Amino acid sequence: MTVHLEVADGVGTLRLDRPPMNALDVATQDRLKELAEEAARRDDVRAVVIYGGEKVFAAGADIKEMQAMDHTAMVLRARGLQDSFTAVARIPKPVVAAVTGYALGGGCELALCADYRIAGENAKLGQPEILLGLIPGAGGTQRLSRLIGPSRAKDLIFTGRQVRADEALALGLVDRVVPAEEVYAQAHAWAAKLVQGPAIALRAAKEAVDAGLETDIDTGLAIERNWFAGLFATEDRERGMRSFVEEGPGKAKFL
């Protein structure tokens, strides 16, 4: 299998495993969708790390496979490509991308599906599809522009240039840069910290932010309001407030 789901202590790791560069062929895309949906369903997965290994995150699509596809074949496949990445973006739990080495094209688009990105000092990110006479097709034109703004996204998409970790951090494309050998450990620690949090409230927070970004401010506030009020029906809310009153802030333990 080219993607694995490994679960330990509430953290699920979606591990890409297609040496040498984790090229995202059709089989890998489909397996990624399958395991992302599994991670979303499983009660023993409370947070997710996306990881490509110590040397490379994902260098992009399998160009040899794509070269053999004509217009009709890609019309039939393009939705499946996007759906595999959307499945990752819609995991209703905190998701962190642990990025080492190249995260290009589809690899960059996969990292964009996470809620938070930790990159190694050796990371290089970019959307080089324009150099193939194409544009990003797995969400890059949409998620990248929402993350770093349209003009910065257009610069990367128009030129196809790669950015090193320090520039990616300055652009807001990644959220933290660490030594390459520490990337997975720090991503896992970020996820593990959230495993102990209130699962329904974390889900609500993620949905409120993501859904709110897709609409106007009034609708976004309505989404927030409905989730906020709804959480008053949960045991976690009772537990958190009781702990605050009896023990002080930050001491609640959630199931």
> Listing from the earlier edge strand, what are the strands of the sheet with 102-104?
102-104, 124-126, 162-164
Active site residue: 12, 129, 208, 240, which one?
A: 129
**Is 109 among the catalytic positions?**
yes
Active site residue: 101, 106, 107, 240, which one?
A: 106
Nearest Cα to Cα of residue 180 among 223, 87, 118: 118
**Is 106 among the catalytic positions?**
yes
State the sign of the Cα–Cα–Cα–Cα dihedral 163, 169, 174, 176: positive
**Is 61 among the catalytic positions?**
yes
**Helices 199-213 + 217-230 axis angle, to 10:** 170
Residue 175: partners with Cβ closer than 8 Å, 6 or more residues away: 116, 117, 118, 169
Active site residue: 23, 58, 61, 165, which one?
A: 61
Q: Letter for the amino acid at 240?
A: G
Cβ-contact 163, 173 below 8 angstroms = yes
**Is 129 among the catalytic positions?**
yes
Active site residue: 23, 52, 105, 109, which one?
A: 109
The catalytic site residues sit at 61, 106, 109, 129
